[in-house]
Structure 1
Amino acid sequence: MLKKGWIYIAIGVLAIAGILLLEYNKPKQVNWFPSFVSHHKIPYGTYVLNDLMEKKFPVQQVHVPPFEFLIRNDSIKGTYFFVNETVNFEEAELNALLDWADRGNTLFIASDSFEERLMDTLHLEQTNLYNNGQLKPAFFYELVNANLGKKAISFEKDYYTSYFDKLDTLQTIVLGQVYEQADSTRAISKNVNVIQQTFGQGKIILSSFPKAFTNYFILKDDNREYTAGLLSYLDVNGQVYMDNFHKSGKSFYTSPMYLFLNTKELKWAYYLALIGALIYVIFEGKRKQRAIPVVTPLKNQTLAFTRTIADMYYENGEQDLITKHKIAYFLEYIRTRLHMPTTERNDEFLRTLALRSNNSIEDIRELFGLIDKLETKNGITNTELENLNHKIEAFKAKIDGK
């Protein structure tokens, strides 16, 4: 039997080792989370964008809220660049950015959606464009300026995209458009998704396609031409402030476990250590644990003591004293169990006692008749004492439903 048990253990260990080996060699899943963080190399990070920007523009990475940054650096000039899945500003923050743009600077925001306050200020409205029921969605993006390339770039990772459906034509310059694949029954309808507006002495550029600045988009085919066309509207000689505060992903990780869980080898070393510790606890702990002694609880000797005293009274012929105590304990039982006074034992008391104790009125009269008789009698016999005890026990049994 022992040998057979070791065979089962060996099979289990080999099975676990095989599972771990398969998991270790399994291809790492692609993280498609839209983080837009500058140092993330995942598909929807912006590592490539920031690397290119630092080569072409004088770039400063900003890790604090825009309001705080502009208050500390009130005299700075250039372009404030925001890119994220959704960029939401506080009211004071938005006002500070608009005032900064009004003084001759450029505010560039790439986001799926924009705040209502900003849209009202620029007299814009936005809506969504959904794919035409195709199994493989595809949207086409192109720049309006022919000098930047007229080729449309396709993107097949979204089931919908947003665009500006209403705009102030006197103040707005259209920079980019988006449209979906048209079928034979209808013509292509192009929608505005990148605009530029003059704002005071400066300008504001809005793009509703932030994924154009992600690693996946820039590195795929010739998509970089589209992204470069959008960046061409920035001043090459002007300072560019890259926002790192309004991001969906974490810019840095505070947990020390991130190093282990983000590195494949260290992650599996950590898991193996946990599994080994668990196996050690199960097998070694079970084998070395001392036996817990069984402690016999103390017996309740109250009943035995009571029986001893009762036998002593009975053998010494103290039937009168036993009867007196028996009656006194019975009356105390009625007072505590049935909550009835026993000072007056009249007909009303007997009827109430019969109702509360589940006994018949005849049995109650017979019991208390015997009690009245024995309370006034001297020289009680064993038969009378046994009869009294039998009737009292029968009375209690009916109270307990027996």
Structure 2
Amino acid sequence: MDNSGLYVGLDIGTTSIKVIVAEKVKGQLNVIGVGNQPSNGLSRGVIVDIDQAADAIRSAVNQAQEKASIEIKDVIVSVPANMLRIEPCNGLITLDDQSREITEEDVRNVAASALGTSLPQEREIIDIQPEEFIVDGFDGIKDPRGMVGVRLEMRGKLITGSKGIMHNLQKAVNKAGLNIISTVLTPLAESHVVLNDGEQDFGTIIVDLGGGQTTASVIHDHQLKYATTDPEGGTFITKDISIVLNTSMENAEKIKRDYGYADSLQASADNEFPVEVVGQSEPTYIDERYLAEVIEARLSQIFDRIKDRLNQIQALDLPGGIVLTGGVAALPGIAELAADQFNTNVRVYIPDQMGLRHPSFTAALSLVSYFADLADVDMIVRSAVGATLTKAPKLSQPEQTPMPAAGKTKKTKKPTQKKKRGEGIKNFFSDFFD
């Protein structure tokens, strides 16, 4: 079955590949198929092995095809914020000697004029965001089509990325047997879904806590103003747990999901759980507060680095504060920990669609919603970048399976309970990382 008229989104993450198939009926976006498979061939958000990534993409797409009962050929692909640059761009064309109506082709031509800036060899255009059009000196125009004038200008933002990253992304998707209808920058897509109109207008920071990296994006005046990535995410927390508790990565991931707290002040030293320790026949008991100190230590490092970068551009002064999303944002107490470290208001975004109510689904769901809601004039402007922007299918994010509780085992001595959050983190690093 042809998927024309649907939206198929492909979110290629470090730890999982997510595919969402959705259709828009009477203004309502309905998810009809989901694919979710572990990632291969990726490191810190970018593809490092094309063949492995292509195989993982193919598996996720096949899963979504079965659930949606369609054949998927064309996809909208998310682009990570790695090595991103945002810079102003301006375009200008003269329509004619005499005034006439501005057409769709004129909009495309003025956008192409704005793209005329010469780029370094290693850079590639990802997207162009129109901020306003100006017709014969009258500014603040959102869509100039049908207006009469002689001179048309466009002011906007040009978003460029690494040519190598984009090449590997396109190559892997094509090798999986898919055609890329359009690429969409992940922070842009998320801002459309995660933030309300006031937050986009007055300024808000989105912090996406993914498996392989953490991305902080600043949205102001409905535009992406800044984006930065930190090379650590949920996988690093899992590795810390594995090392400290001397257990496998698989067990560490289950422990993190079943018993983990981001804020050690919320965890209980009285609640214990069993851990399968390497080299021991009997499991060992660990308490939730001790585990929380391990998790909190890594998150605090990530937040500190992100905070330093945001302070350099005074982004933390924006009234919208911070919105957390991504899989790690599911940890209890993470909003409180972030609010304490960033010293601003913080909330966690969780999608409200049935079966997708987990922050790890945000990126894939945002990809579908963003592209489905693009205004005609935005589609015309983006077509100047060279993509064919006919509306096509997209996919949704995968469901996350809750981890089973472990069985009972032998107790060990409990670690000392911490009295203050800062002390616990300091002691943890002294014990294990110094």
Q: TM-score range by the shorter chain?
A: under 0.3
Q: Which has the higher contact order (CA 8 A, sep 6+)?
A: 2
Please, what TM-score do these two structures have when normalized by structure 1?
A: 0.24
Which structure: greater strand fraction?
A: 2
Please, what TM-score do these two structures have when normalized by structure 2?
A: 0.22
